[in-house]
Amino acid sequence: MNIHYNDNVIMHFLEPINVGVLENSDGEGIVGDMTCGDMMVMYIHVQDERLADIKYQVFGCAAAIATCSALSEMAMNKTLGEALAITDEDVIRYLGGLPDPKAHCSTGAASALHQAIADARARQKPQL
């Protein structure tokens, strides 16, 4: 199988942004399974109903890494509602597309962020 990534995907893969762990995060979301492939963990800090910081760890292919990087860039400083509205398709569009055989690799990033927001809302202040 011959897979071609566009320049934006390659940039987010080779130079991913916001990689890491947030100590004392307000919320965490985990998607995937190490036994079958891609795994993503999103960490968020929330301030004034906005995503003040996002970090992630990802184990997976170039598409999985690129989608986590792109999603973190897209969601930074958004309100929680705006961040929850981001879909996998939005991330793929933001990247300028993914090869069809790799589109499934993008499905974890938005879900991990949505889980992190749900976690923050469950364990933090009522106004979240």
Active-site positions read 36, 105
DSSP symbol at 79: B
Kindly report the number of other CB atoms within 10 A of residue 126's CB atom: 5
CA distances from 27 to 5, 41, 79, 124 (A): 32, 10, 14, 9
